[in-house]
Amino acid sequence: MLKIDFLSWLLCHNSIVTEDRLKKKGFLGPSKCNLYLENEENATHLLIECRFAKSIWVDVFSSWGSFVCLPNSITGYFADWAHLYPGKLPNNNWFKVAWMVYPKFIF
């Protein structure tokens, strides 16, 4: 769990090493998403906007029989995640904890 929390911390602080960050440090290389070569590689694109990432999010929610409007930024996921549950969160503490760590595992 510590590795997942560390990755989440890096994501929230825009510190994950992606092509956009390497370019700022002078690295001259391709900056396209390696999966579809469509958009610039950055954390938001890789984990939310990329067609592959979107398909994972859609599959996760459709397996629960619902779909919600997802935030368009990584910090939006962490800030608004509790409010994205379709309906009222059950009073079950285990479920609340599971729901809150869910995006971390998907990322």
Distance CA 9, CA 22 (A): 19
Taking all residues of the chain, what is their mean pLDDT, rounded to a whole number?
77
Length of the chain equals 107
pTM for the full predicted model: 0.66
Q: What is the pLDDT of residue 65?
A: 61
- Domain of 61, in residue numbers: 2-106
Using one digit for the tens of pLDDT, what is the confidence trace for 74-93?
A: 877 777 776 766 667 677 77
Give the number of domains in the chain.
1
Phi-psi region of 50 (alpha: psi -120 to 50; beta: other; left: phi over 0): beta
Phi and psi at residue 23, to the nearest 5°: -60, -40
